[in-house]
Chains A and B, each alone.
Chain A
Amino acid sequence: AEVEETLKRIQAHKGVMATMVINAEGIPVRTTLDNSTTVQYAGLLHQLTVKARSTVRDLDPQNDLTFLRIRSKKHEIMIAPDKEYLLIVIQNPCE
């Protein structure tokens, strides 16, 4: 219930273009985009997350990746990775 509320609030925020929750196999659990785009994001971002996590842990195996932000010209992609899922929010912070 609280999870739902928080998710709704995040989705309703100004500038948030999309919110996605993807499970470990790349299947979208919750998404505000259409399926094909979501699947595309899921695949690409999953690989990136894995690489980022691998990098962090290679440098120090006791460390782990907690959050990933990709700032591009048009918007910002924020990823909260976990072993079982990926939480992705795309925000356009200026508009």
Chain B
Amino acid sequence: LQVFDEQGKDVTPHPLFHPDPNAAVPRQGKTLPSSARLGAAGAGLLSSFPPHQASGEDTNVGSFSSFNLTEGLNLASCNFTGVQVRPAEMKEELTEEDLERSVEVYLTETETLWMLDLPSVVVSVESEDAGRIVERNKIYADICKTRPGNDRFVEKMMQTINGAAKNKEVQCDQIVMEDKGVTVTSWDLYDSFNALEKNPASQAGGTRATTRESSQPHTTKKHHQTTPVSSDTDSTTSPTMVLESSVHEEEDCHSGAILRSDNFQQDLFFMERILMENIFQPKLAVYRQFPVLTDPDVTSDTGAAAAATEEAEEREQGKEKKDKEEQKEAFINPSVLSDGEKSPEEVVLPSLERLWSYVCDLTNGHSVSSMAWSKVNPDLLAVGYGAFDFKEQKKGLACCWSLKNPMWPERVFQCEHGVTALDFSVGRPNLLAVGMYNGSVAIYDVRSRNHAALLDSSESTNKPTGPVWQLRWVEEDRGARGAGKAERLICISADGRVTSWFVQKRLDCTDLMKIKRTEREEQKLLGMKERKREALISQQAAGMCFDFHPKDANVYLAGTEEGYIHKCSCSSTEQFLETYRGHKGPVYKVVWNPFSTEMFLSCSADWSIILWHQDSQAPVLTLNSSSAVVHDVAWSPKSVFAFAAANESRVEIWDLGGSVLNPVISCLASPGEKFTSVLFATNTDCLLVGDSKGEVSVFKLQNLAAPSTDKVQFLVRRTSEVHLK
């Protein structure tokens, strides 16, 4: 039994006799054997009779004589009256050693001390005096029987004196009652239970609930953390009270700490993304091909805008305004659009619907030179910014944009020179390789926010001396040599070399191929010797682009500035396997068809796009649509014969299954803007177009017909026929 007063101090009544703390243990040991010893003549353990032991012995009392019982009671009463509150007495802390130490318990018997002698009025039937007492009892009983009428009995009146009553006043402190209520929630218990191990010594400053289980004294220590909860339920104005009474200096240092904490940064990050989601929700839904939700409270004039036609020309006018709000309303319900236009005979026209564009202050003024998706996260896009012309060189940028935040890039890497090419690694998806206008290659780790490159080629002696026009991580089977696939970083640059980079203390490279200038066929027949005597400035032709065969990692195509496309193999550094002649200007891009891997496409500055078959040295198909340099071309990942091309003023989607003369969709650029690159989205029907103003616009391809199987077969047959000619 432990008693606590209101300050929480232990006022358990201690026994009067308190020799020294070390003897406390043996004292307690003594009482137990005393209870076992039920000697008739009083136990006699006086001083060591803690009251709580007395209560424990209640069950044994019956076997004691009453003498012992009263003795015990007296002792108890003595103890209580003599007790003073002894707040200073500290509870002896028993250390581990104390507990382990063997304590010797000495049991001795004191002499018998008579405290009270009440002679008994009961005598046993078997004692010697029994007969005499029985007789006397009998006589007494007889006398009592003869009492009424007997002369020997006289009635006498007595008066008891009533003592004078005296009033005694006693004053005591008011007993303050306080009601305390706490709602204990299950998480509160969970927290407290877990916090038991963490901070057992934490002080409880605030008020405590008066009802507690003694088994968990520590729960109250956690209550002071929940008092904000309870105080809030008590009075709604408590926060405002706190506001007025808090110390100003504490505010300052707390607020600074808040702003600098990591959690805050993260929360800001999420908040920004959520804001973006709110703003861009319809667009993102279209991107992800979800049904778009309309907010029932937010219907402004959607009807009028939604009735806009699907013609590509009118769409550009809408784009020129670059007003996101209008577009958002216009695109809120794309199904309305097609329904409005459809008439029983009319076919819905395919179109590009502009969703949003990745642009921010940083990228304004730069021209988009290349884009690449992350291999692992299809929502992460890396965009390189840098100019193609020599005259426009300034510092370049590589930014990583995430779908979740179209208004600010996730990572910004500033580069010394214009970025001309970039690519994400497949094997280690956090590595981004960036090729620059001065020929250097840097590898960034997108996990870190560090601006510095992880690896830089500036120390390499063999690095390209011209702009790196294209960069790619290529996986190859190293079946013979090592385990699994190894990855190489390969780039092609304007000094005519195809180089493969590796890391050996620093980024270094070796040449895979040196592209020599190829003579034109007709001139070969003329005076070859004359040509050799000509002093050529360089023996090498600048390489502009390359593409590895999707199935065979040893074979790749390289496009040059001369207009030739060479098919090369990794095993030979000098000889080409094939040369494809057809372009009259530098070949800017060459891409294998991902489905039908014998065909590839190339685009060049001579305004044309050429479809080739790998076995034929002559072009299969030449596509001319406008008099502008075609900067970029890309096959659609979904449809066999569809591809996108960016020439300076337009983005065109061609579908060879439909028509080979005209593009299916043609989207004009706004004035002053030139499209420089295209990229298809892998997980959805969208096209990304980069332009010279630094914007990467995301377009949704609508109603692009998938080619029917017989058309595909027809085309394949046709192209194979062509090449056999």
Contact = CB atoms under 8 A, between A and B. Distances in A.
Interface of A: 2-3, 6-7, 9-10, 13-16, 21, 23-27, 29-30, 39, 42-43, 46-47, 50, 54, 57-58, 61-62, 67, 69, 73, 76, 78, 80, 82, 84-85, 87, 89, 91, 93-95
B251 interface: yes
A50 B229 contact: yes
Contacts of B243: 25-27, 39
B274 A78 contact: yes
Contact of B274 (A3, A61, A67): A67
B390 interface: no
A6 B295 CA distance: 28
Nearest to A84: B258
A73 B259 contact: no
Given A13-B275, A78-B274, A93-B279, A7 B268 contact: yes
Interface of B: 185-187, 189-191, 228-229, 232, 236, 239-240, 242-243, 246, 251, 254-255, 257-261, 263-265, 267-272, 274-275, 278-279, 281, 295, 297-298, 300, 324-325, 407-408
Contacts of A14: 279, 324
27 contacts: A3-B264, A6-B265, A9-B408, A21-B255, A21-B264, A23-B254, A23-B255, A24-B254, A25-B239, A25-B243, A26-B242, A27-B246, A27-B251, A42-B239, A46-B232, A47-B232, A47-B236, A58-B185, A58-B186, A61-B190, A69-B274, A80-B268, A82-B264, A82-B267, A85-B261, A87-B271, A93-B295
Contact of B258 (A6, A15, A21): A21
A15 B408 contact: no
B414 to A, nearest CB: 15
B264 A10 contact: no
Contacts of A15: 275, 278-279
A87 B278 CA distance: 17
Given A23-B251, A57-B185, A10 B272 contact: yes
A80 B271 contact: yes
Given A15-B278, A47-B232, A58-B185, A3 B268 contact: yes
A65 to B, nearest CB: 11
A80 B68 CA distance: 71
A67 B270 CA distance: 9
B271 A10 contact: yes
Nearest to B189: A61
A76 B246 CA distance: 31
A14 B356 CA distance: 15
Contacts of A58: 185-187
Contacts of A93: 278-279, 281, 295, 298
- What are the 8 tightest A-B residue pairs by CB atom distance, in nearest-first order? A57-B187, A61-B190, A29-B255, A80-B267, A94-B298, A26-B239, A93-B278, A61-B187
Contacts of B279: 13-15, 93
A93 B411 CA distance: 26
B300 A94 contact: yes
Given A9-B407, A14-B279, A23-B254, 12 more contacts: A3-B268, A9-B408, A10-B275, A21-B259, A25-B243, A46-B232, A84-B258, A84-B263, A85-B261, A87-B268, A91-B275, A93-B279
A13 B185 CA distance: 40
B265 A3 contact: yes
A8 to B, nearest CB: 11
Given A82-B264, A87-B264, A91-B278, A43 B239 contact: yes
Contacts of B228: 50
A51 to B, nearest CB: 9
B238 to A, nearest CB: 9
A66 to B, nearest CB: 8
A2 to B, nearest CB: 7
A73 B297 contact: yes
B57 to A, nearest CB: 45
B240 A39 contact: yes
B185 A16 contact: no
